[in-house]
Structures are given as structure tokens and as C-alpha cells.
Amino acid sequence: MRRLEEGQEIVDLLEPYERVDRSSGRGPCWVMANMVAGLDGSASIGGRVGALSSPTDAALLKLLRSLSDVVVVGAETVRREGYGPVRLPEDRRRARVAAGRPAVPRLAVVSRSLDLDWGSRAFVEAEEDAATMVVTGTTAAPARLAEARAVAEVLVAGDVGVDLRLALKDLAARGAAVVLCEGGPSVLGQLVADDLLDELCLTLSPMMGGDPLPVAVAPEPALLARFALRHSAVDDSTLFLRYERIGAP
Ligand SMILES: NC(=O)c1ccc[n+]([C@@H]2O[C@H](COP(=O)([O-])OP(=O)(O)OC[C@H]3O[C@@H](n4cnc5c(N)ncnc54)[C@H](OP(=O)(O)O)[C@@H]3O)[C@@H](O)[C@H]2O)c1
């Protein structure tokens, strides 16, 4: 065991995350996840994530998006959090374009029911060349599929539900090299169980007493996934941890 000493101030929040080689993931794309948890592992308070977060965590969440080609999120999180499309600061947009990437990553919403508000920000406020995607299975109701297709690009990957490996294959075929999952716990749990998660950025918020919902809910039987700590930082009493998955796929 070693003591973690307080070190230099981090001026550029993204810098420790930018230097990572994300060229080769366990699955079709490199999959990173960004989540915040209380000290008891809780992923929400009163059904929302906001109270767990801090201004630094919120700033990092926005910046981490700039590392990705697609931001994947579960439908329940979109419904509860009122998700909008990804927005990036001008300097990050310019840096991406200079590197030959689209100015912003696209949002991809995973849903079986397609019970989504098609007039919501996530769909109607997406930039013209970054239309929001909806990822669903072949059993989706045709009427809802038609509604989805009117405002989003629909990927069908899997039958009753989405097969996340197939979905990532589709995204990779569309040029996505780095996919960022922003939850919720059910989508993250499936990524872990399917051995598709490469990296976890976890903010540990100094509070307890949130909802009985851990940051990842794996379907049975779950794979035991191991990680190595690659970066840690502290802001007040909030810990920022970056883990990478270890072990052969
Ligand atoms: N702490 C954090 O960092 C964090 C991050 C994100 C969210 N949250 C919190 O987490 C809660 C929501 O999480 P959650 O786990 O309940 O929901 P979620 O993962 O956001 O979304 C679950 C929904 O996604 C769809 N889905 C998931 N897997 C699917 C599959 N394989 N195929 C097809 N559709 C699939 C289904 O949508 P349909 O119902 O439309 O079929 C399912 O109901 C909220 O309270 C939110 O605030 C916390």
C-alpha cells in the first residue's frame, strides 16, 4: 500500500485524459464510460444524478465528450435527465475539425420501447451533421420506428433488445473509434457483462444516502471485470478516478 500524496494543480482538466492510447478496444470500438457515484456507490439521488455532481465534475463530463465520436446513453437516462445533444466549447470543436473529426460527437440513445419524446432537445436540437441516433431491436413497434426515423437515424442491432456488441460494430462501421457511455447503470452493466468496456472515468462524490442504484447493473450471470487505476485527482473532497480494464478479452 502506498500513500497518495497531493500533487501539482491540474489546470487543464482534460489533459490527463487526452494522452491515453484508445486505438485498440476489447470490442469493435474503444468504449469509455463516465459515471459519478456517492461513497455508497449510489448513482442517483431522487432519480436524478445532479445532486451527486460538482462544478468540476460537470466541467469534466463536458470535456470528456470531446474525446469521443459517439455518446451512448440509455433511454431512461434521456427521459429522466432531459438530455440534449452534445455541445462542445469552440476550442474543442476547432481541435476536432483540425484532426479530421466531426465538430461534435453524435448522441446515440439505446431503447427497446422507443417510448421517447421525439420533440425533445435530444432530437430537435441536434446539429445538422450530427443527428441523434436511436439504437433499437427488430421487435420495435413499426409506428414508433417511423416516428423515430422522422427525427433520428435509427440503427437496428439485435432482436428483442439491442445487442450492444452488434451496435458497436455498426457504430464502428460508421467511423466511430471511441464511444463514450454516460450510463445509465443498466446500459453500463451490459457493456461490462459483454466485456466491451475499456475504460471507466468514475467521480466519487463525498456523500451517502442516495438511491439504491449502483453505477452498473449487470444482467445475470455477470462477468467479473478487473481494472487498473491509471489516474487519480482530488477536488475538495471529490475523487476523480480513471480506470482501464485489464486482462485478455
Ligand atoms: N451516476 C451517474 O453517473 C449516472 C449516469 C447516467 C444515469 N444515471 C441515473 O441512472 C438512472 C437511469 O438508469 P437506468 O439504469 O435505470 O436506465 P438507463 O440505462 O439509462 O436506460 C435503461 C433503458 O435503456 C434501454 N435499454 C437498456 N438496455 C437495452 C437493450 N439491451 N436493448 C434495448 N434497450 C435497452 C431501455 O429503454 P426503453 O425503456 O426505452 O426500452 C431501458 O429501459 C437515472 O436515475 C439517472 O439519473 C446516473
The response to whether residue 184 sits with its C-beta less than 6 Å from ligand 1 reads: yes
Exposed, middle or buried, 170 (CB in 10 Å: 0-12/13-18/19+)?
A: middle
- Identify the pLDDT of residue 211: 98
Specify the pLDDT at position 220.
83
CA of 186 to the centre of ligand 1 (A): 5
Query: Could you give the CA distance from residue 234 to residue 215 in angstroms, rounded to a whole number?
Result: 20
- Supply the DSSP symbol for 240: E
In the reported structure, the alpha carbon of residue 111 is separated from the centroid of ligand 1 by a whole-number distance in angstroms of 9
Domains in the chain and their CATH numbers?
32-211+222-238 (3.40.430.10)
C-alpha span between 135 and 152 (Å, rounded): 10
For ligand 1, whether the C-beta of 80 sits within 6 Å is yes
Cα radius of gyration (the chain) = 18
Q: How far is the CA of 100 from the centre of ligand 1 (A)?
A: 32
Answer yes or no: is the C-beta of 107 below 6 A from any ligand 1 atom. no
pLDDT at 194: 96
pTM: 0.98
Q: Phi/psi at 179 (nearest 5 deg)? A: -115, 130
Q: Which residue has the cell 466511430?
A: 176
48 lines ligand 1 (CB under 6 A): yes
Which CA distances in Å does 122 have to 2, 51, 109, 118, 131? 44, 22, 9, 8, 9
Q: Is the CB of 110 inside a 6 Å radius of any atom of ligand 1?
A: yes
pLDDT attached to residue 110: 98
Distance from residue 164's CA to the centre of ligand 1 (Å): 13
Angle, vertex CA 104, rays to CA 189 and CA 18, nearest 5: 70
Task: Specify the pLDDT at position 243.
Answer: 98
List the one residue out of 30, 34, 28, 29 whose CA is nearest residue 14: 34
Please tell me the residue having the least CA distance from ligand 1 atom 3. 35
How would you classify the pairing of strands 226-235 and 238-246?
antiparallel
> Whose CA is closest to 198, among 163, 247, 241?
247
Q: How far is CA 65 from the centre of its chain?
A: 8
Which residues in the chain come in under a pLDDT of 50?
none
> For ligand 1, is residue 165 a contact (CB within 6 Å)?
no
Atom of ligand 1 nearest to the CA of 48: 47
Measured in Å, residue 99 CA sits from the centre of ligand 1 at 32
182 lines ligand 1 (CB under 6 A): yes
Do 134 and 156 contact (CB within 8 A), yes or no? no
162 lines ligand 1 (CB under 6 A): yes
| Residue-level pLDDT at 200 | 98
Q: Which of 219, 225, 175, 176 is nearest to 199 (CA)?
A: 225
How many whole angstroms from 73 Cα to the centroid of ligand 1? 7
